[in-house]
């Protein structure tokens, strides 16, 4: 005998109820799955616009700096510059850094400048913001193949270094980023050794294009862009422009740099923008300018060849990349 | 008489079809309202690549779920999951041709030779093509079930290649590719264990005789 026919007829669900229940279940599954799928997509898609929280920088004077931008090069918007950041201490997702760095404390702040100098000194944030600064509109070229045009506010690094009186035996300058696992949620899993360190040769550090930036679009730097003070070296790949600097040390040897420590075959000490020397995993001949549809040719030394090429006369760029 | 929900193949198909298309539709909607982020090219490239891996993993999930939970109804839907993997992979390839190669198709070959992670990705894509082509009922009949199944085991290598391709492009934080790798190790490890156990049983039977 078939076991199903043993069920008393009173316990059999009427077909109408069964179908109603079926309709309800299907609707619930439809809704649930669509919300889950859509939610997952949303969770991994870029965040919405960022807002400016900076305050005006009072000490900005008119700049005598001649921007070398082409007529077709537009300055990127604040949202683009402050919404797409490589700052691995906070997140390796460029569109997530702004939100994760929101509460980063950048005041009080001090920068310790020492090493081979006559007058080592600790600069407080207020000293740095008091320095006479100017707007510099620079191209910014990331090693990943994207670029922007950014209106920085800052002063030449040479100006700060002259205050500490570099000794003649100093050949290089080492920089270090603030590091704090409590404030920097991704600092333990970024996949690179931290604190982040960078370095320049003395002549690069003293070059008038090399900037210590304290602002962006006339206001103090957003946290995600390296507040309260960062280096900007426009003819080098972006990772050389170290953020949130706490320490500047003059030395007599080439200092270690974070990315060349992480992967010496891919990132060198110099890392000058050079369309002819490719990164092993991507070409450097072209770049995607943020906000533009197509790609553009990458310029030698990021377009600052006339100003900086003499620093590297006779250098083999395939070896010293 | 209505079928039970777990037997309702049409419902399963519709469910997978709509949910599979949904990310693409949302991406299109975001593109239309200019909300693909600061670098849309990068986002769309990454999103289509990750979707390819997600669907590859889902196809590999079918067999363990059938065997362990008895969800045999999943088998009928595996082809659709695989075709979605191919669909997103084609999208991923298009983003590469458009954004990375600027439609200079002549440069693709030299790029494959030059960059290992591109070679690994291309290899996996090339393996997907015969699987997509033989996904029709007519082709299953033509090849015969056993040979068809054998051919479609290429999915294992495609998935390994896809995850490796993802791992190779990451600059330092390999969290996501490693998550995919862990899932794939479990799913392929399951198959290894099952086949080893079967082999042992065969031997045991042989000994008894």
Per-residue pLDDT of chain B (209 residues; tens, 9 = 90+): 456 777 888 999 999 999 999 999 999 999 999 889 999 999 999 999 999 999 999 999 999 999 999 988 899 999 999 999 999 999 999 999 999 888 999 999 999 998 999 999 999 999 999 999 999 999 999 999 899 999 999 999 999 999 999 999 988 888 899 999 999 999 999 999 999 999 888 887 766 55
Q: Percent helix, strand and coil across chain B, each rounded to 5?
A: 85, 0, 15
pLDDT given for residue A3 in this prediction:
55
- Confirm if B78 and B62 have CB atoms less than 8 A apart: yes
Tokens coding A49 = 């616009």
Whether pLDDT at A218 is above 60: yes
pLDDT given for residue B207 in this prediction:
60
Chain A and chain B share a number of CB contacts under 8 A equal to 93
Complex ipTM more than 0.95, yes or no: no
Residues 6+ apart with CB under 8 A from B111: B100, B101, B118
B30/A84 Cβ within 8 A:
no
B209/B207 Cα distance (integer angstroms): 5
| CB-CB neighbors (< 8 A) of A80 in chain B | 38
pLDDT given for residue A12 in this prediction:
76
Using DSSP, state whether A229 is helix, strand or coil: coil
Nearest to A246 by CA among A173, A179, A164, A176: A176
Tokens coding A53 = 């929280």
- Confirm if A240 and A233 have CB atoms less than 8 A apart: yes
Strand A211-216 versus strand A296-297 pairing type:
unpaired
Sign of CA dihedral A84, A87, A90, A92: positive
Residues A282-313 have pLDDT tens digits of 889 999 999 998 889 999 999 999 999 999 99
Nearest to B115 by CA among A143, A276, A280, A287: A280
How distant is the Cα of A280 from the closest Cα of chain B, in angstroms? 7
A194/A210 Cα distance (integer angstroms): 24
pLDDT given for residue B208 in this prediction:
55
B118/B89 Cα distance (integer angstroms): 13
Cα–chain-centroid distance for residue B99? 23
Residues A71-126 have pLDDT tens digits of 899 999 999 999 999 999 999 999 999 999 999 999 999 999 999 999 999 999 99
| CB-CB neighbors (< 8 A) of B23 in chain A | 37, 40-41
Long-range contacts of B84-87 (CB under 8 A, 24+ apart): B84/B16, B84/B20, B84/B51, B84/B55, B85/B52, B85/B55, B85/B56, B85/B58, B85/B59, B85/B128, B86/B128, B86/B131, B86/B132, B87/B20
Q: Which of B2, B99, B115 sits opposite A281 (nearest CB)?
A: B115
Strand A146-156 versus strand A219-220 pairing type:
unpaired
The pLDDT of A49-71, averaged and rounded, is 82
Strand A197-201: give its sheet, edge to edge: A121-124, A110-115, A245-251, A172-177, A197-201
Domain A76-312, CATH among 3.40.50.10330, 3.90.420.10, 1.10.10.10, 3.40.50.720: 3.90.420.10
Q: Which helix (H) or strand (E) holds A286?
A: strand A286-289
| CB-CB neighbors (< 8 A) of A296 in chain B | none
Question: Chain A residues contacting B, CB < 8 Å?
Answer: 15, 18-19, 22, 25-26, 29-30, 33-34, 37-38, 40-42, 44-48, 79-80, 83-84, 88, 92, 94-95, 144, 146, 186, 189-192, 262, 278, 280-282, 286, 288, 290, 294-295
B70/B72 Cα distance (integer angstroms): 5
Nearest CA in chain B to A14: B1
B173/A25 Cβ within 8 A:
no
Please report, for chain B, the start and end positions of each structural domain, with discontinuous segments joined by +.
Answer: 9-208
Q: Which of A41, A88, A191 sits opposite B23 (nearest CB)?
A: A41
């Amino acid at each position: 005998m078939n076991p199903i026919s043993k069920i008393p007829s009173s316990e059999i669900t009427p077909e109408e109820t069964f179908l109603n229940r079926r309709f309800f279940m299907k609707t619930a599954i439809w809704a649930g799955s669509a919300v889950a799928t859509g939610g997952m997509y949303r969770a991994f898609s870029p965040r919405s616009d960022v807002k400016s929280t900076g305050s005006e920088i009072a000490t900005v004077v008119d700049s005598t700096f001649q921007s070398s931008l082409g007529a077709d090069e537009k300055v990127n918007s604040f949202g683009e510059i402050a919404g797409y950041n490589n700052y691995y201490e906070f997140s390796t997702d460029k569109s997530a850094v702004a939100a994760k760095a929101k509460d980063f404390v950048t005041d009080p702040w001090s920068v310790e400048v020492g090493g081979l100098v006559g007058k080592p000194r600790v600069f407080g944030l207020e000293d740095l913001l008091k320095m006479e600064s100017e707007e510099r509109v620079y191209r910014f070229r990331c090693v990943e193949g994207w670029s922007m045009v950014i209106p920085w506010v800052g002063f030449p690094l040479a100006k700060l270094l002259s205050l500490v009186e570099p000794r003649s035996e100093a050949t290089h300058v080492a920089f270090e980023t603030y590091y704090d696992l409590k404030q920097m949620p991704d600092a333990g899993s970024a996949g690179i050794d931290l604190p982040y360190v960078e370095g320049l040769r003395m002549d690069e550090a003293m070059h008038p294009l090399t900037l210590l930036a304290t602002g962006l679009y006339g206001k103090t730097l957003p946290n995600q862009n390296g507040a309260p003070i960062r280096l900007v070296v426009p003819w080098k790949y972006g990772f050389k422009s170290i953020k949130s600097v706490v320490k500047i040390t003059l030395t007599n040897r080439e200092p270690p740099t974070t990315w060349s420590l992480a992967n010496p075959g891919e990132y060198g000490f110099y890392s000058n923008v050079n369309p002819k020397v490719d990164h092993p995993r991507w070409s450097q001949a072209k770049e995607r300018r943020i906000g533009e549809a197509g790609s553009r040719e990458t310029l030698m030394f990021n377009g600052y060849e006339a100003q900086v090429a003499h620093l590297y006369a006779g250098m083999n760029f395939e070896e010293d990349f | 008489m209505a079928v039970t929900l777990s037997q309702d193949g049409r419902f399963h198909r519709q469910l997978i079809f709509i949910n599979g298309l949904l990310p693409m539709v949302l991406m299109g909607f975001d593109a239309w309202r200019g909300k693909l982020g600061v670098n849309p090219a990068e986002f769309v490239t990454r999103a289509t690549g990750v979707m390819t891996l997600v669907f590859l993993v889902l196809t590999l999930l079918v067999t363990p779920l059938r065997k362990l939970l008895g969800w045999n109804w999943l088998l009928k839907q595996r082809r659709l999951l695989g075709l979605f993997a191919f669909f997103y992979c084609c999208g991923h390839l298009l983003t590469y041709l458009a954004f990375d190669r600027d439609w200079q198709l002549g440069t693709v070959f030299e790029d494959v030779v030059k960059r290992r992670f591109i070679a690994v990705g291309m290899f996996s894509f090339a393996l997907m093509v015969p699987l997509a082509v033989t996904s029709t009922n007519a082709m299953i009949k033509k090849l015969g079930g056993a040979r068809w199944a054998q051919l479609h085991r290429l999915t294992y290598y495609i998935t390994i290649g896809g995850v490796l391709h993802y791992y190779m492009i990451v600059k330092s934080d390999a969290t996501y590719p490693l998550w995919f790798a862990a899932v794939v190790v479990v799913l392929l490890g399951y198959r290894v264990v099952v086949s080893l156990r079967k082999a042992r049983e065969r031997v045991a039977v042989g000994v008894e005789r």
